[in-house]
Amino acid sequence: MKKILPVICIAVASLPLAARTWVVAPGTAQASIRDAIQKARAFDTVLVRAGTYLEGGITVNKPLALIGEGRPVLDGEHRYQPLGIRSDFVSVSGFRVLNCGSGSLEDQAGIKVYNARFVYVFNNILEDNYFGIYLSDVKIAGSATTTSGQAARWNKLRATAYIPGNVTALPLQITG
């Protein structure tokens, strides 16, 4: 047992070192955010370079960091929800999210978080979305799910979230 314990400790300690960064950029072999998310493993980073991405609805279904570099655009083309988050431990930052669809049986948003914890959405610009950020069945306790530093224009905000003490943790700058 004494000999196996150090091996287990080294294996567990090296897990964070195994995280990978997937770089997405227009005109390259990795030009699709959706494909990079599918290839990524839990706790990887998907770094999205500047450009406009027309990928319909992108879904994050595993813990990861989705980082925009140069303010890439996620465009819903007035038909799709640009970004849905269906996993705990996700962070999204640095994007311009615009033109989500509306009128379907399900409320659509620029960024919609479904029943997830420890989701951080910050430093994004949300424009011309029916709902800018929509928290669906999200439990907010402490700093579990937060949005901050958002600039939002021509959006509504909707949250079906349980927030202990009825404290709203959604500071948004609403303009337009």
- How high is the pLDDT of residue 4? 56
Mean pLDDT of 78-94: 94
Position 1 scores a pLDDT of 54
pLDDT digits (tens, 9 = 90+) for 129-175: 888 888 887 655 443 444 554 555 444 454 444 434 333 334 444 44
Instruction: Return the higher-pLDDT residue of 127 and 63.
Output: 63
Number of domains in the chain: 1
Evaluate if residue 67 carries a pLDDT over 60. Answer: yes
Residue 9 placed within a domain: no
Residue 2 maps to a domain: no
> Is residue 93 in some structural domain?
yes
On whether residue 12 sits in a domain, the answer given is no
List the domain range (segments joined by +) for residue 52. 19-175
pLDDT of the residue at 16: 55
Considering the chain, what percentage of its residues have pLDDT values greater than 90? Answer: 47
Sheet-wide strand order for 58-60:
58-60, 83-85, 109-114, 131-139, 156-162
Whether 39 maps to a domain, the answer reads: yes
- Give domain status of residue 31, yes or no: yes
Taking only the tens place, the pLDDT of each residue in 1-44 is 556 545 444 444 445 567 999 999 999 999 999 999 999 999 99
Residue 11 lies in a domain: no
In this prediction, residue 7 carries a pLDDT of 45
Mean pLDDT value of segment 108-132:
87
Nearest to 89 by CA among 37, 135, 42, 124: 42
pLDDT of residue 118: 87
